[in-house]
Amino acid sequence: MGLVRRWLYFGAWLFKSLFLNLTPARRVMLALALLLLWVRAQWGTGGHALRVDFGGLAIGLLLLLLMLELKDKLVARSELQAGRVIQQALLPKEAPQVAGWDVWISTRPANEVGGDLVDFVTNEDGRVGLVLADVCGKGLPAALLMARLQATLLAFVPDVPSLAALASRLHKAFRTRGLENRFATLVYLELEPGSSRIRLVNAGHMPPLVVGPDEVQPLPAGGPALGIPMVATYEEQSLDLGAGQTLVVYSDGVTEALNEGAAFFGDERLLGSLRETAGRPAAEVAHHLLGALEAFVGEARWHDDVSLIVVRRAGRESEPV
C-alpha cells in the first residue's frame, strides 16, 4: 500500500479493533461522546437565542471511558503478574544432575506468561527425562495449555512402555480435550546415568541439533505435532553422543527472533553460533547462543518465547573460548 492508504487502513483497523473490544455499555458511551462532539444545540431566536456546546460533556465521557479501560488493563496486568509467579514456580529452578552428563535448561517468556515448557522428570530407575514443548499461540491461553500439557506429561511418563507410546498418548489427550486450532510441538528425551545413549521422541518440533567438532547436524524429523486432527504415529530415536559432541534442543523463538530491522535471527546465525562453541560445556554453549541472540535483537521487542536444552557428556570440556 501507499503511505496514505496504509495509514487510512491502519486507522480504520485500529478504531474497529478498539470498538469491538469494548463492552456494549462502553460502545454506547463512545458513540454518544463522538456524537456530542459534533452537536450544537440552540434554543430561541434572534438576540435571545441560547446556544449550548456539548464538547465538554463529550470529552468528559471519553475521559471516563479511558479511565474504565485503564482500570481493566491494570487488573488484567496484576492477574498476569500473579500468573507469571505461579508459572515460574511450576518450572524447574535449575537443571537436573545426571551422572556422566552435563545438562543446561532455560526458558524465557516473551510476555508476562509463556507457552513454552521446559521441565524434567526423574524415573524410579534413575533415568532422567527432559522435555521442551512449544504450545501454539502466546500469552495466557498458551500458558494454560502449557500447564495442562505439563501435568499430563508428568502423569503419563511412569506408565508408558516406550517414548513413542508416550507421544501417542499425549497426542490423543491433547486432541480429545484440546481446543480447535490449538496444538503443541514437543521433544522428549531420556538420559541414563553413566551412559552415552540418548533416547528421544519428536512430535512436530524442529529437529534437535548435534554439534560436533567439525559440523552441526540435525536429527531426523519426527511425527506430527500434538493435537493435529489426524491419526499420528511416532518413532523413538536414539543416538550415542561421542567425545566433543553436544545435543541442542531449541524453540522456534530462537530462529524467529526479530531485530529492529524486522530481520530474523534465522538458521544460519544459529548454526554459526553453535559452531563457535563446539566441544564447550553446556552452560557455555547456552550463554554464547543467548548472548548472540540478545545482541541481534537489540532494543527490539521479543515476539516469542525462547527455550533451550543443551546436553553433552560430562568430563570432556576443552579450554574456554
Cell of 103: 545438562
Average pLDDT, integer, range 220-241: 90
pLDDT digits (tens, 9 = 90+) for 173-189: 887 765 667 889 999 99
Q: What is residue 147's predicted lDDT score, i.e. its pLDDT? A: 87
Q: Which of 10-14, 28-32, 136-140 has the lowest mean pLDDT?
A: 136-140
Q: Is 26 helix (H, G, I), strand (E, B) or coil?
A: helix
C-alpha dihedral over 23, 29, 31, 37, to 10 degrees?
-150
Q: What is residue 42's predicted lDDT score, i.e. its pLDDT? A: 54
Strand order in the sheet with 101-108: 101-108, 306-313, 246-250, 209-211, 216-218
Cell of 101: 552428563
CATH code for the structural domain at 93-313 = 3.60.40.10
Average pLDDT, integer, range 198-218: 92
Enumerate the domain spans of the chain: 3-85, 93-313
Q: What is residue 93's predicted lDDT score, i.e. its pLDDT? A: 83
**DSSP annotation of 279:** T
User: What one-character-per-residue DSSP string does 288-319 give?
Assistant: HHHHHHHHHHTTSPP-S-EEEEEEEETT----
Q: What is residue 164's predicted lDDT score, i.e. its pLDDT? A: 94
Average model confidence (pLDDT) for the chain?
A: 86
47 vs 187, higher pLDDT = 187
Q: What is residue 321's predicted lDDT score, i.e. its pLDDT? A: 35
Q: What is residue 178's predicted lDDT score, i.e. its pLDDT? A: 54
